[in-house]
């Protein structure tokens, strides 16, 4: 039953997405791909859309997947499931963690979780960059770049250039802002806007 699958799938996302935000993307990807709810390309598009709309990214993704798979009820079930663990975990933290946060064993566990989350984000980011810079079958059929032998070359150079350019813009803006005495560079929404303009220029 789709509603049960949505509940169980996004309950796992909410329960194990330590770090929230981008840290939830690897687990969301595993869940939606295992159930066949979204393709890899559609997931990438929806991550961008979810980042540019109000609200936490995993809640936005849960709502989108829920409504595409089970209508309004599916959206409610998926969204409810993804926020349910955090509700009870925050209550537990308020009640117990404040008393033991100074314990060296608890501090070690939290540090280990931070390292784990960082590694997962890095691995997922590398996978998505590689995936984004590869030519899909649809692109190949519509005249993707070819080698001198006439076979389709697997790298989409336009996507690779745009990816490197956006990374340079993002980190360059952070350096400039810090030099000016400000902590943050471009926001994700601003970066998405720039990427949209670049996409229209490069892929039009």
- Domain assignment present for residue 14? The answer is yes
Statement: residue 135 has pLDDT above 80: no
Give the residue numbers spanning the domain of 30.
Answer: 1-103
Statement: residue 147 has pLDDT above 90: no
Q: Do residues 74 and 6 make contact, with C-beta atoms less than 8 angstroms apart?
A: yes
- Domain assignment present for residue 97? The answer is yes
Statement: residue 110 has pLDDT above 80: no
- Domain assignment present for residue 125? The answer is no
Q: What one-character-per-residue DSSP string does 134-184 give?
A: BPPHHHHHTT--B-TTSSBPSB-HHHHHHHHHHHHHHHHHHHHHHHTT-S-
Of residues 118 and 35, which shows the higher confidence score? 35
Statement: residue 153 has pLDDT above 60: no
Written as six digits, the tokens of 72 are: 């309004």
If one counts the domains in the chain, the total is 1
pLDDT tens string 59-108:
888 898 999 898 999 999 999 999 888 888 888 777 776 677 777 887 78
pTM for this entry:
0.56
3-state secondary structure of 53: coil
- Domain assignment present for residue 73? The answer is yes
Rounded to whole angstroms, what are the CA distances from 143 to 42, 117, 201? 21, 39, 18
- Domain assignment present for residue 49? The answer is yes
- Domain assignment present for residue 191? The answer is no
- Domain assignment present for residue 92? The answer is yes
Q: Please enumerate in sequence order all residues whose Cβ is within 8 A of that of 5, keeping only pairs 6 or more positions apart, or say none.
A: 35
């Amino acid at each position: 039953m789709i509603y049960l699958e949505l509940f169980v799938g996004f309950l796992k996302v909410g329960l194990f997405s330590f770090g929230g935000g981008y840290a939830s993307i690897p687990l969301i990807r595993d869940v939606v791909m295992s159930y066949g709810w979204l393709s890899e390309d559609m997931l990438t598009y929806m991550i961008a859309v979810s980042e540019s709309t109000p609200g936490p990214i995993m809640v936005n993704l849960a709502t989108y997947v829920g409504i595409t798979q089970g209508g309004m009820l599916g959206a409610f079930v998926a969204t409810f499931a993804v926020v349910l663990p955090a509700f009870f975990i925050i209550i537990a933290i308020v009640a117990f963690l404040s008393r033991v946060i100074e314990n060296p064993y608890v501090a070690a566990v939290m540090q280990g979780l931070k390292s784990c989350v960082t590694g997962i984000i890095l691995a997922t980011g590398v996978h998505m960059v590689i995936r984004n810079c590869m030519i899909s079958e649809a692109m190949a059929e519509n005249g993707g770049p070819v080698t001198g032998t006439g076979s389709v070359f697997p790298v989409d150079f336009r996507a690779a250039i745009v990816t490197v350019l956006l990374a340079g813009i993002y980190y360059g803006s952070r350096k400039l802002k810090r030099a000016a005495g400000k902590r943050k560079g471009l926001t994700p929404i601003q970066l998405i806007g720039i990427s949209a303009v670049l996409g229209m220029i490069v892929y039009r």
